[in-house]
Each structure stands twice: as C-alpha cells, then as structure tokens.
Amino acid sequence: MSRNEGWSIPPIIRPRPEAWAFDLDRALQAVLELRAEIPADAFTANILGTEREGSAVLLEGGRHALTIGYLVTEAERVWLTSAEGRVVEAHPLGYDFVTGFGLLLLLGRLPVPGLPLGSAEPLRPGDPVIVAACGGRDAAVQARVIGKREFAGYWEYVLDEALFTAPAHPHWGGTACIGPDGRLVGIGSLLIEAEAGPKETAAANMVVPIDLFVPIRDQIARTGRVDRPPRPWLGLYVVEAGDRLVVTGVAPGGPADRAGIERGDLVVAVAGRAVVDLADLWRQVWALGEAGVPVPLVTVRDGRRIDRTLRSIDRASLLRRPRLH
C-alpha cells in the first residue's frame, strides 16, 4: 500500500496552519513513508509479515530517522520516501525492546528538514497535538491528548506512562506526534480503544513518548543497542480478560512453548507471588533477573493448577541482525 492508498482522513480533523504557532507544512515534511522487506525465514515474519509499511520521522541533522520498532525488526531492506516522492534507502541501526523505538541510518540525503526533539512531559489531557503520516496536511490528524498512563502489551511490554491521543490516525505505525511547539513529542505505535472520560472510550492512538528515546539515542546510533542487561523473555502472549490473565498464544520454539503452555491457560503467579494485572505479570518476571534466569510460573488449565519453571532467554538471540548493504 502506498502513501494514502486505502485510507483517508476527513478534512474536518486535518490540521490548519493558522491554528499553530509554527510552520506546519515545514514540520510535516519531516514525516516519511517507510517500506521494509523482511526475509521469509525471519523469526518475526509469520507474526508481523515480510512486507511492512508505515511512517518514520527524519530527525534534525538529516542522518537518522525514528520509527516504531516492529516495522523494521529483522528488516533486510528499508526505503524511506518523502512527500515529494524522493526515495532513499536506510539501514536499521537497532530496535529497543524496552521502549519500542527503531532507529534508522539514512544511506543518502533527503532535501527535507528534520524535526527537533521535544518532550511529552508538559502535555496534559486536552492539549492539542498533531499525529501525522507522510503526505502533508492530508495525512495528518489534529488530535488532543486524552490520557497519560501506564500501558501494558501482550508481547511482554510495559510503559510506565504512554501518551494517548484522539481522534485516532488510521495509519498509525511510526507516525509523528508533534506538540504545540512544533517539536516531536512521540512516535505512534497502536490503534486502541482508550478511556476518554468517565465510562467513555474512544478509538485512540497509543504514542511512545520521545522522552524515552532521548537518553538512549546516542547508544543506539553508535552500537545498535542500549547498554542495559537484556530482560528475561518467555515468548508468552497474554491478555487481560476481566480479572484474569489469559494466554492467547506462544512464540514457536520459545520458553513458554517448550514448557508446554497453551492457548487458554490462565497465568496466576510468578515465583510464588500472585499477579494482579498484565503490567504486574511482566514486572514480576523482569524483577527475577536478566535474560537466562529461571522463571517459576503457575498456570491453570481446566481448573487444574500447573507449576512450571521456564528458562528465559534474550529475545534478541532469535532475531536476525541487520546487515549494511
């Protein structure tokens, strides 16, 4: 799918230049279309596909672009296209599992300005932001912050404070979230139903705050990874269903798969401690130590308690490393 093909944004929610105190059209030029090719035998190919499309944001200096990591995990080739149709190949430098960011090195120059980094910290519910894909105003949504709170993902992922914006952008992956000062405040990750008020939900985007990228930017740019011990990974996909934590699947060949955990199992405890929600589950696992640590897990199947000990691994050990062409 090429830019704006198969989706459109109603004119009523597109941003208007007069509503912003910065050069809107100049800022939107920094948002690029991303296309990635992943080998068919890559670990993530069956989950995320071999052809991935979304957005990336050119950063100040013009050498690097930032996106959401699942678009470029194990990518063999990545192309970035400007709104004017200029194309350049990019090399995926690294994907940080903790934050979810993916950083790209451009292998050529694009004649567009990069976006400066801002901060999501000052933003409050009700504050205006722009969520933009490649394509200028026609591909951007004038949105508002509807929440800043914890987010837990079924893929062993937790953010202490994510940003939630509405109305939702229909092509959210890797979008730029631009603050009232014209600076980049986050990268779009998901389309979800989020709390928008008392007993009210709305289609919204979950945005990873740029503040999580600032401390790790130089490390990823230099080495492709962040200098921290890898977290223990189980290859376990879990969702909240009321007050229960239900296994929806396991990564083939991963620790959970090898331990015999199955779809429909309930996860009730880690190392003898009951788990109360999804974020608590992952945090309890990570608190046991770094990748390789044994993880005692209690599950329930058909009303029967099953105690297992999973040998965790470093998730990165299963993934292809990007090669520079």
- Indicate the residue type of 125: P
**pLDDT band with cut points at 50, 70 and 90 for residue 1:** very low
Contact 300, 306 (CB under 8 A): yes
- Residue pair 133/55 in contact by the 8 Å Cβ criterion: yes
**Interatomic CA distance for residues 268 and 261, integer angstroms:** 13
The pLDDT value given to residue 323: 66
DSSP, collapsed to helix, strand or coil, labels residue 298 as strand
pLDDT in tens, 38-65: 999 999 999 999 999 999 999 999 999 9
- C-alpha 110: how far from chain center: 25
Per-residue pLDDT tens for 135-168?
A: 999 999 999 999 999 999 999 999 999 999 999 9
Does the domain at 22-114 match CATH 2.40.10.10? Answer given as yes
Does 28 have pLDDT greater than 60?
A: yes
Model confidence pLDDT, tens digit, residues 192-233: 987 766 767 789 999 999 999 999 999 999 988 899 999 999
Whole-number pLDDT of residue 201:
75
Alpha-carbon span 68 to 206, nearest angstrom? 11
* SS3 assignment, position 127: coil
What is the C-alpha to C-alpha distance for residues 148 and 240, in angstroms, rounded to an integer? Answer: 20
CA distance 73 to 55: 14
Domain boundary assignment for the chain: 22-114, 236-314
Intra-chain end-to-end CA distance of the chain, in Å: 25
Is residue 4 scored above 80 in pLDDT? no
Same fold, 22-114 and 236-314: no
pLDDT at 320: 84
Give the pLDDT score at 322: 67
pLDDT one-digit tens code per residue, 71-129: 999 999 999 999 999 999 999 999 999 999 999 999 999 999 999 999 999 999 999 99
- The pLDDT tens digits of the residues spanning 268-285 come to 999 999 999 999 999 999
CB 183 within 8 A of CB 132: no
Please state the rounded mean pLDDT for residues 275-301.
98
- Return the CATH fold of 236-314: Pdz3 Domain (2.30.42)
